[in-house]
Amino acid sequence: MSRPRVFLVDDHELIRSGIKAEIADDVDIVGEADEVIAAVEMIGERRPEVVLLDVHIPGGGGVRVLRDVRTTCDDVRFLALSVSDAAEDVIAVVRAGASGYVTKNISGSDLIDAIWRIRAGDAVFSPRLAGFVLEAFAGGPGSAAHEVTSDPDLDQLTARERQVLRLIARGYAYKHVAAELGISPRTVESHVSSVLRKLQLSNRYELSHWASARRLS
Amino acid sequence: MSDAVLGGVCAGLACRLGVRSRTIRVLAALASLVFGVGLVAYVVLWIGLRRDGEEASIARRIESQRHASMLVGWSLVIVLVLLLALSRLNLYALSPYAWSLLLSGVALVAIWRGASPAERAHLEGVLQTVPVLGVASVRGWRAVAWRVAPATILIVVGLHILSQVGGVWGGAVPAIIGALVLVVGVLIMLAPWWLQNVRDLSRERRDRVRAEERAALVAHVHDSVLQTLTLVERSADNAVEVRRLVRAQERALRAWLFAPDLIGVVTSDTGSFADQLRALQDDVERDYGVRVELVVVGDCPGDQRIGDLVAAAREAVVNAAKWSTADEISLYGEVEAHVISVYVRDTGVGFDTDTVASDRQGIAHSIHERLSQIGGSSRVRSTPGEGTEVALTLSREVVAT
């Protein structure tokens, strides 16, 4: 398989050069941008396979980039990177279409691994994102009762998905999750992808009103 | 004309006569006391005289507008009828000033209709600062009318009742009622103005407090980051120390950014389950220079058993930090409806649970004992070369009782 074509969006020069230094040997970096409009334009031109997207960038944030790019080319996949721990930011980019979320202190090899997986169409969940999702989907279907959803299955996780997320939150890598549950890594991937889909499509109150829900808890 | 207070009549006269405008104003006020003569003279001059820099007086302008002259004419008729009716009813208390006041009222209507745009802007500015009309006029004249009309009626009725005291009724009751009615009328009249003032004041105060807080925070952050940078530079050769400093600074910044309320409040012994785990994370990262990746799902208030659970978790995390050689430890806490669980995991050297060195076994024992004392359970899994995981669970039913 050829090396993934990667585009970097981050407003901090230092972070961009740091990330480049760590991954340049294993991926092709086709461009970088430090603000929304330039990012949207260049991604449209250069058609990378994976965009590493900072959640907080000037001009509307990562969410803006996602929305604008999605309208023109939907074959580009996004991995959100952030130093922020705020659930509402993370959930917002994932719901806008990012395929995963990792924190910026991720090691180089883990990041490269994540890029490859994103390119293959899989979802990448950091322990923290797994924790946010578990929290958002806690309380069973009852807490979403007043929401109008076309598909009620979207509003809750299966027991298996919950198990997988819990192991990821506990710090297990996908292959260890698979070993722990006695299933194939491929199956783990598909569970995580299914969770990602629910995360993006569900109308659960906790997801759409994450900020206020956070403050209450 | 820049000296104008209302219509600029006094200022204009003063300018023409070569005296100070204040002199004219005092004279006008005194003249107003004599059956409102000054007032009437003022509005007549206001209407009749040309405003400085404009080519027509208000009277001219009204003449030229059919609609405006109709309006003024009709108001004059209505007021005259009203005045005649009042004098028929022998309400003498009103009569000496009623004529001048009501006629001035008509004149003001005329002034408003006939004013040039510049003058109207000036008058609107004046209105904003008048207590009764100011604030409400922003919301429209209807709102002013709804407030001023009942307030005026209450004030007039109150005055009327008070004027009867000692007359036919006598006694204290009418005096009290009259005073009350009067006070209520005045309150209704002035309330919005007063409220607005209070609101402005408290908003100002709030903004100032916010700005001060922000400034203090910024100063604090700058100071702390600069100090850390100095320390990092000085210990540039010591990787462990640099990492420790950087992480400590990172945590401090995060705390200021995301949970400023908790600074200095939460220690490992107070706060909710999640707060205690965060404190544990901070302590271990600071003391051992490893990263503790903390994920908490759900939360509950702290109590004795929670404190013991977190203390056991702390032992497990410290143990991993000391022995595992992993540079990251995963700490996961979850509060469910019936169970609270904590998992401490590292991907370090691990050990054989059957043949461990006695000191580590001791820790496993101590964790186990702590948990069984509070009715929980613990489990240690470790594989040499792959890592260790300590699982702690505590049922919540016992917490509740």
Expressed in percent and rounded to 5, the helix, strand and coil fractions of chain A are: 55, 15, 30
Q: Report chain A residues whose CB lies below 8 A from the CB of B258.
A: 85-86
Residues A13 and A116 in one domain: yes
Mutation pick from B258, B262, B297, B390 vs chain A, by most beta carbons of A within 10 Å, is: B297
Q: Phi and psi at residue A78, in whole multiples of 5°?
A: -120, 140
B50 phi, psi to nearest 5 deg? -80, 140
Q: Mind listing the pLDDT tens digit for each residue in B35-62?
A: 777 778 888 888 887 777 777 777 777 7
Nearest to A128 among B295, B298, B345 (CB): B295
d(CA B78, CA B103): 11
Structure tokens belonging to residue B157 = 């009725």
- Search chain B and give the residue with CA nearest A107: B328
Q: Which residues pair with B50 in a beta bridge?
A: B57
B389: DSSP letter = E
Q: Do A49 and A111 sit in the same domain of this protein?
A: yes
Q: Quick one: tokens of A123?
A: 């979802």
Q: Are residues A117 and A145 in the same domain?
A: no
Determine the residue among A129, A170, A176, A177 to mutate to test chain B binding: the one whose Cβ has the most chain B Cβ atoms within 10 Å. A170
Confidence of residue A49 (pLDDT cuts 50, 70, 90): very high
Q: Are residues A80 and A142 in the same domain?
A: no
pLDDT of residue B31: 80
A136 domain-assigned: yes
Amino acid identity, residue B377? S
Domains parsed from chain B with CATH numbers: 1-129 (no CATH), 266-400 (3.30.565.10)
Task: Please indicate, yes or no, if residue A126 is contained in any of the structural domains.
Answer: no
Nearest Cα neighbor of A94 from A11, A181, A2, A198 is A198
CA atoms within 13 A of residue B386's CA, in its CB half-sphere: 12
Kindly tell me if the per-residue pLDDT of B332 is higher than 90: yes
Name residue, tokens 């990448």.
Answer: A124
B351-367 mean pLDDT: 68
Neighbour-count burial for B49-88, b at 16+ CB within 10 Å, e otherwise: bebeeeeebbbebbeeeeebbebbeebbeebeeebeebee
Residues contacting residue B82 through CB under 8 Å, at least 6 positions apart: B102
Q: How close, in Å, is residue B290 to chain A by CA atoms?
A: 13
Tally of domains within chain A:
2
Pair (A108, A205) in one structural domain: no
For residues B334 and B273, what is the distance between their CA atoms, to the nearest angstrom?
Answer: 9
Burial of B328 (C-beta count, 10 Å sphere; 0-12/13-18/19+): middle
A12 shares a domain with A116: yes
B330–A127 C-beta distance less than 8 A: yes
Same domain, A117 and A154: no
Within this chain, do residues A41 and A69 fall inside the same structural domain, yes or no?
A: yes
Based on the fold, state whether residues A54 and A11 are members of the same structural domain: yes
For residue B389, pLDDT beyond 60 = yes
Q: Same domain for A17 and A93?
A: yes
User: Phi and psi (nearest 5°) for B342?
Assistant: -130, 130
- Of A99, A121, A143, the residue at which a domain comes to its end is A121
B328 vs A contacts (CB less than 8 Å) = 171
pLDDT higher than 50, residue A50: yes
Q: Dump pLDDT digits (tens) for A113-167.
A: 999 999 998 899 989 899 988 988 876 554 444 444 456 677 788 999 999 999 9
In this model, does residue B362 exceed pLDDT 80? no
Residue B50 DSSP one-character state: B
Say if residue A98 is in the same domain as residue A24.
Answer: yes
Alpha helices, DSSP H, located in B165-289: 172-234, 239-258, 273-288
Segments forming the whole domain that contains residue A76: 5-121
H or E element that contains B400 = helix B396-400
The chain-wide mean pLDDT, for chain A, equals 83
Of residues B104 and A183, the one with the higher pLDDT is: A183
**Residues pairing with B264 in the sheet:** none
Chain A neighbors of B293, CB-CB under 8 A: 127-128, 171
Pick the last residue of a domain from A63, A92, A121: A121
Give percent of chain B with pLDDT exceeding 70: 82
CB neighbours of residue B316 within 10 Å: 27
Q: What's the token pair of residue B89?
A: 């009813």
Do A102 and A20 share a structural domain?
yes
Phi, psi angle pair for A11, to nearest 5°: -85, -5
CATH number at residue A37: 3.40.50.2300
Last residue of a domain, one of A97, A121, A145: A121
Which chain B residues are within 8 Å of A128, Cβ to Cβ?
Answer: 293, 295
Q: What is the pLDDT of residues B217-268, one digit of tens each?
A: 777 777 788 888 888 888 888 888 888 888 888 877 877 776 655 555 445 4
Q: Is residue A70 part of a domain?
A: yes
